Amino acid sequence: MPLATVNGIALNYQVKGDRTKGTDVAGGGPLVVLIMGTGSPGRVWDLHQVPALVAAGYRVCTFDNRGIAPSFESAAGIRIDDLVADTAALIEFLGEGPAFVVGTSMGARVAQELALVRPDLVRKAVYMAGHARLDQFQKTLSLGEQDLDKAGVQLPAKFEAAMTAVMNLSPATMADAGAARDWLDVFEFTVGPTSPGIRAQRSMDHEFDRRAAYRGIKVASLAIGFADDRMIPPYLSREVAEAIPGAQYQEIPDAGHFGYLERPEVVNKILLDFFAA
């Protein structure tokens, strides 16, 4: 990925298109910008969403949010406004807006705020596991993660893998012995020390309620909830759709917080149908 200097920081990004369709060059197709959630790099989108979007004739931009190296880690602290300004500056840097914007979890919140403050940059927006507020469980969980970070505690890899699976996957996935084994192996393999940038992302403000503010969003919007999501339960995603005038809501069954990885065919079809409508 190349590094772009935007909003005064370095962002690691890439743009992909289909050479046979001419979308590998700027302006060769509509731009889709994908915004990842807390602690994850932009390349996670490459597993399922990028190939489907590129095959459908879109140019797709993925990037590492502030906090994820080699983008600027911002170890001293991160605010949601920083992430929104970074994303807006990246779209302006690419010069291909307005773009279709898709975010998941923290990335959904970035997309929501971007649609509110910079509608000129957003053609349509999709918020997966979006939320206008957090309930007491998410707040308590976040504070617990921050306490672990401050104490420098590293959980045993197998235990951390199991907890990641419980919190992010559907019981339907875990009931499949082969799928459960594969996911747990992946999670265990990727366990490692938490970087300063990820700690900064985890320490972002969690005392917010943007339901009233989102009534001001005029961009065509779709909120997606994952039925078995324990991190951001679907009622919080539904609240986003209810707050935004004219917004749509779809809920995907048998999917947890990583629903875009568990049920990629369903997610991709929803994205493509919404963009084309």
Residues 240 and 114 in one domain: yes
Please report the pLDDT score of residue 118 as a whole number: 98
Decide the pairing of beta strands 9-16 and 59-63.
antiparallel
For the segment 47-56, the average pLDDT, to the nearest whole number, is 98
**Residue 233 covered by a domain:** yes
pLDDT for residue 257? 98
Q: How many domains does the structure of the chain reveal? A: 2
Write the DSSP symbol of residue 101. Answer: E
Show which of 197, 217, 249 is a domain's final residue: 197
How far is the C-alpha of 269 from the C-alpha of 111, rounded, in Å?
20
Angstrom distance (rounded) from CA 69 to CA 194: 12
User: Is position 213 within any domain?
Assistant: yes
Q: Do 145 and 109 share a structural domain? A: no
Strands lying side by side in the sheet with 31-35:
3-6, 9-16, 59-63, 31-35, 99-104, 122-128, 220-226, 248-252
81 with 34, same domain? yes
Determine, yes or no, domain membership for 124: yes
Q: Is residue 202 part of a domain?
A: no
Would 203 be classed as within a structural domain? Answer: no
Q: Which of 148, 170, 197 is the last residue of a domain?
A: 197
- What pLDDT is recorded for position 148? 87
Residue 234: the pLDDT is 98
Co-location of 192 and 155 in the same domain: yes
Residues 183, 102, single domain; the answer is no
Predicted pLDDT at 177:
96
Task: Identify the DSSP state of 97.
Answer: -
Q: What is the pLDDT of residues 59-117, one digit of tens each?
A: 999 999 999 999 999 999 999 999 999 999 999 999 999 999 999 999 999 999 999 99
Q: Which of 197, 229, 245 is the last residue of a domain?
A: 197
12 and 142 in a single domain? The answer is: no
105 annotated active-site: yes
In this prediction, residues 6-21 reach a mean pLDDT of 96
Q: Do residues 223 and 241 make contact, with C-beta atoms less than 8 angstroms apart?
A: yes
Exposure class string for 3-35: b at 16+ Cβ within 10 A, else e: ebebbebbbbbbbbbbeeeebeeeebbbbbbbb
- On whether both 126 and 142 belong to a single domain, the answer is no
Instruction: Judge whether residue 9 has pLDDT over 90.
Output: yes
What is the DSSP secondary-structure string of 188-256?
A: HHH--PPPHHHHHHHTS----B-TTGGGG--SEEEEEEETT-SSS-HHHHHHHHHHSTT-EEEEESS--
Examine the pLDDT at 52 and tell me if it is beyond 80: yes
Between strands 59-63 and 99-104, the pairing is unpaired
Catalytic residue among 64, 82, 229, 237: 229
Give the mean pLDDT of 133-147. 92
Residue 1 confidence (pLDDT) above 90? no
Q: Is 45 domain-assigned?
A: yes
The tokens 């999709």 sit on which residue?
Answer: 126
pLDDT score for 134? 96
The answer to whether residues 230 and 67 touch, using CB atoms and an 8 Å cutoff, is no
Contacts of 14 (CB under 8 A, 6+ apart): 1, 2, 42, 61, 62, 63
Residues 152 and 268 in one domain: no
Do 144 and 237 fall into the same domain? no
229 catalytic per annotation:
yes
CATH number of the domain encompassing residue 230? 3.40.50.1820
Catalytic residue among 71, 105, 170, 237: 105
Residue 191: pLDDT band with limits 50, 70, 90: confident
* Residue 158 belongs to a domain: yes
Average predicted confidence (pLDDT) for the chain: 96
* Same domain? 16 vs 96: yes
Together in a domain, 179 and 212: no
For the stretch 117-136, pLDDT in tens is: 999 999 999 999 999 999 99
Say which residue the tokens 């609240």 belong to. 239
- Statement to judge: residues 253 and 226 lie in one domain: yes
CA distances from residue 34 to 23, 103, 186, 190, 245 in whole angstroms, order as listed = 17, 6, 23, 22, 23
Q: Can you spell out the DSSP letters for 114-159?
A: HHHH-GGGEEEEEEET--SB--HHHHHHHHHHHHHHHHT----HHH
92 inside domain: yes
What domain range includes position 176? 137-197
In the residue annotation, 257 being an active-site residue is answered as: yes
| pLDDT value of residue 149 | 85
